[in-house]
Structure 1
Amino acid sequence: MKILHIISSGGMYGAEAVILNMSRTLNESSHSSILGVFSNSANPNLQLHAAATAQGIESHLISCTGQIDRTVPSSIRELAAHTNADIVHAHGYKADIYCYFALRTSDVPLVSTCHTWYDNDLTVSLYGAADRFILRNYAAVVAVSEDVRQRLLKAGVRKDEVHIVRNGIDLRPFDNATPSLREISSPANSPIVGLIGRLATEKGVDIFLRAAARVLAELPATKFVVIGEGPDREQLELLIDELQIRKNVFMLGRRDDMPGVYASLDIMVSASRHEGLPMAILEGMASSRPVVATAVGAVPDVIADGRTGVLVPSENVEALAAKIVTLLNDQTQRDSLGVAAKKLIEKEFSAARMTADYLHIYDQAIMTKEQYAAGAISSAISQGKTK
C-alpha cells in the first residue's frame, strides 16, 4: 500500500513527528510512505521536508502562495497520480481542505488525522469550523484523543468514520542517548528542568516560566530550558526579564539533537493549557525522564499520577512549582517515575502499534470507497433500466 501524507507544516512538532515515525515504520515493511509538504510563500517551514529527505523518505514540495492558492488542488491531484497513492492522508485544516477539493471526485480515499484544534482567535476558530465541516466527507477521520473525537462528532462527522489512534514513537533514538546540554549545568552540576513545545499560548510556556521563578526562590541553582520556536517568543523573553530569572533560563530554539536534550533533563515539564497527546511527553517518557504535566487533553491517558509521571491542574503556577521542587529534592522518586514511564511507552505507545492501527483504518477506508463506488454504479445502471 502507498500512503501519501499531505501537511502544511509549522515546524518540527507533534504532527511532523507522527508522520516521520509512521513513515519509517511503513517503509521498513511491505508498504511505502510519501510526503507532500506545503511550501508556503509567507512562511515555508520546510524542516519536515528536509528531515524526511535526510532519512531517505520520499518527499515533495507543494507550492502555495497566499491564503488561497487555486493551483494547489491540481498540484495535489498530480502528486497523487504521480505517486500512484492508494490513500491520501491529510494532517491539519489546510491540508484537509485542499485535499478535499483536489480529490473529492477521485477514487483515492481521503483520511485525516486531527491532532487538535487551538481556537485562540476568530480566524483560527473559523478555519477549525470549516475543517470539521469538510471532514464529514472523508472516508475516515482519526482523533488523537477523546476530546478531539467528541468535537468531531459534535460537528456532524459520522460515528463510524471517527477512530481514535494514540500517537506512537520510534523508541530507538532515545535508548542510551548521550546528554547534549550538560554544559548548561556546569560548573555546579545543577539540575536541569525543561519544556519542549511551540512558543504559543496553548503550550503554557508563560506558566512554566512563572513556576521557574518560584522554584528558584527555593532552589536557586536550578536551570530551566525551553526548546522550540513560535509566535510568542518576544513576549516570553520580556517575561523572563520581568521575573528576573534570565541567568537561570535558556531559550534554546529548535534543536536537531532531541534524544540528547531529553537525556540532559532531570525533569521534563508540559504546562499546556490545551493538548491532544503531545509527542514531547511520549519522547520524554521514552527517555526515562520524570514528567510533570498539566492534566489536559489525552495527557491523563498516558500519565498515571504518581506512577508514570505527575499531573497538575492547568494554569496553576503554585501547583506546578511545588511538584517540581518535590521531585528535585527526591532522586529516588525521579528514578522510579522514569523507569515506569519508559516501560509504559515500550508497551503501549510504539510506532509499530500506531502504524498497525492506521493500516487497519486505511484498509477500511479503501473498502468503504469501493463499496460507495459499486453502489453508485449499481444505482446508475438501475436508473438507466427504468428510463
Structure 2
Amino acid sequence: MTKKILYVIDGLEFGGGERVFAQIINGLPEDRFETFLATATNAAIQRSITARNCSFFPIDFSNRCNALNLLKLAGIIKNQQVDIVHGQGARAEFYARLAARISGRKKYVSSVAMPVEGYDVGAFRGFFYRVLDRFSERFVDCFLVVSSALERDMIQTHGVAAKKVVKIYNGIETDHYNPDAQEEGRRGIRREFSVNEREILIGSLGRMVWQKGFEYFVRGIPAILQEIPEAKFMLVGEGPLRRDMENLSVSLNIRDQLVFTGYRSDIRDMLSAMDVVVIPSVLEGFPMITLEVMAMEKPIVATAIDGIAEQIENGKEGLLVAPQNPQEIVQAVKRLLNDPDYARLLGANARTKVIREFSVQKMITQTIDVYEKLCRR
C-alpha cells in the first residue's frame, strides 16, 4: 500500500534542509510513496521538486506566532490521510509536531541538521525557540541527525532515547559534481571575473553569516599574497555580513585581490574555476558544500569542527585546521600550493570517499528504511 508523507519546512531560504528534502522527495519510488510539501508560498524548494506525485500546500511561516498554521497543517494531515509527517527547522516543526499530535498521533520524523542552540537568531528568539523545541520533542518518533556529534547532542543534552535517534549522512549528486566535466565552467567563470589561467584562484563559498567564519579566511589573505603575489581570491555567497567582509578587505588593503560574487546557483562551475577551496566554518551540522568540493576533487582546507571532521580525515582527503585561526589556514593553503601532486592526491581521495559514503541514493535508501520501520509499529 502506498504510504503518504507530508514534508514541512519553512522554505524562506533554499538551504541545506530544503535541498535534502527535495532530494528525498525526488528520489522516493512513486509506486510506494505519495508526497506532500507544506512550505512558504513560491518557496525556492518547489522549483527543485521534479517528482510528479508531490502536492504543494502554502503555509506562511514568516510570522512567529500563527495559530492558523497549526490548523492548516492538521487539516492537511487529516484530509490527505497522511501516514508520516517529516519536518525540519524549529519554527516549522513546532506547528508540525503539534499538528501531527492532534491529528490522530501520526508518526513524526524530525530532521536535525543543527542543534537549535546553535541558531543565530538573537538571545530572546533563541530562548523562545529552545523552549518550543524542548516542549514539542516529546511528540517526535524518530530524530534523523546528520552527524555523530548531533547524535551525541540529542542523547546527552536533549535527553532523547538512543533508540529514537538515527544518523543519516547528507548525500550529493556525484554525477553532477563531476571533475571530468569542469573545463567549460572553469573557463567561463574565470573569464567572467577576469581571472586568467596563470593566476591561482583560492575561494570560499556559503552564506555570509558568522557561523561560516569567512572573517578568518579574509584575514589570512595578506600572508598568502606575501608568498604568492599572483594569487586571486573569491567569496561566493550573500548574507548579512557581506558589507563587513568588504570593509575588512579594504582595511587589509586586499580589496583588489578579493572578488565578491554575491549569490550564485552555478556552484559546480564556481568550484571548477578554483584551485584551492577554504571552508573556515565555526559551527556546522554536516555541510553540503564540503561534499561538493570533495566530489569535484578540489584540494580543500577546512576547520576541524563537528560535522566536517566526519567528512574529511586530516591529511587523507584534505587538510584540517583549528577554527578561528587565520595562521593555520595560511599554512595549509601554502602547503597545497607548494605540493600540487599531494593536493591532487587529496582531491582524488576525497571524491572516492564521497562516492562510497555520501551518495544521494544511500541517504534516500536509509530514509526509506526509517519510514518503513515506523509504519510497521
TM-score (norm 2): 0.89
Q: 1:288 aligns with which of 297, 303, 313?
A: 297
Q: 2:46 aligns with which of 43, 49, 54?
A: 49
State how far apart, in whole Å, the 1-side matches of 2:31 and 2:268 are.
Answer: 25
State how far apart, in whole Å, the 1-side matches of 2:52 and 2:346 are.
Answer: 32
Do the aligned partners of residues 103 and 28 (structure 1) sit closer, same or farther apart at CA in structure 2, a change above 3 Å counting? closer
Tell me the amino acid that sits aligned with residue 126 of structure 2.
S
SS at match of 1:353: helix
Q: How much does 1:189 deviate?
A: 2.9
Work out whether residues 185 and 192 of structure 1, in 8 Å CA contact, stay in contact via their aligned partners in 2. Answer: no
State how far apart, in whole Å, the 1-side matches of 2:130 and 2:351 are.
Answer: 34
Do the aligned partners of residues 57 and 310 (structure 1) sit closer, same or farther apart at CA in structure 2, a change above 3 Å counting? farther
Work out whether residues 132 and 155 of structure 1, in 8 Å CA contact, stay in contact via their aligned partners in 2. Answer: yes
Tell me the amino acid that sits aligned with residue 107 of structure 2.
P
Work out whether residues 110 and 140 of structure 1, in 8 Å CA contact, stay in contact via their aligned partners in 2. Answer: yes
State how far apart, in whole Å, the 1-side matches of 2:348 and 2:337 are.
Answer: 16
Q: 1:166 aligns with which of 166, 169, 180?
A: 169
- What does 1:1-387 align with in structure 2 at a 5 Å threshold? 1-26=3-28, 30-39=32-41, 46-52=43-49, 58-64=55-61, 66-81=63-78, 83-107=80-104, 108-117=106-115, 118-120=118-120, 121-126=122-127, 127-153=129-155, 154-175=157-178, 176-177=181-182, 178-179=185-186, 180-183=188-191, 184=193, 186-187=195-196, 189-368=198-377
Once the two structures are superposed, what CA deviation does each residue of 1:1-52 show, in whole Å capped at 9, x if it has no partner?
Answer: 332221113422221221222222215774344422234xxxx8x3223333
Aligned length: 363
State how far apart, in whole Å, the 1-side matches of 2:225 and 2:55 are.
Answer: 47
Tell me the amino acid that sits aligned with residue 17 of structure 1.
R
Do the aligned partners of residues 53 and 69 (structure 1) sit closer, same or farther apart at CA in structure 2, a change above 3 Å counting? farther
Q: Where in structure 1 are there 5+ consecutive unaligned residues?
A: 369-387
Tell me the amino acid that sits aligned with residue 47 of structure 1.
A
Q: Where in structure 2 are there 5+ consecutive unaligned residues?
A: none
Q: How much does 1:192 deviate?
A: 1.6
State how far apart, in whole Å, the 1-side matches of 2:365 and 2:50 are.
Answer: 24
Tell me the amino acid that sits aligned with residue 369 of structure 2.
H
Q: How much does 1:92 deviate?
A: 1.0
Work out whether residues 13 and 197 of structure 1, in 8 Å CA contact, stay in contact via their aligned partners in 2. Answer: no
State how far apart, in whole Å, the 1-side matches of 2:334 and 2:232 are.
Answer: 12
Q: How much does 1:58 deviate?
A: 4.6
Alignment root-mean-square deviation, CA:
2.3
Q: How much does 1:292 deviate?
A: 0.9
Tell me the amino acid that sits aligned with residue 59 of structure 2.
I
TM-score (norm 1): 0.87
Which deviates more, 144-153 or 127-136?
127-136
Identity of aligned residues (%): 27
Residue 377 of structure 1 corresponds to none
Q: How much does 1:54 deviate?
A: 10
Which deviates more, 8-17 or 90-99?
8-17
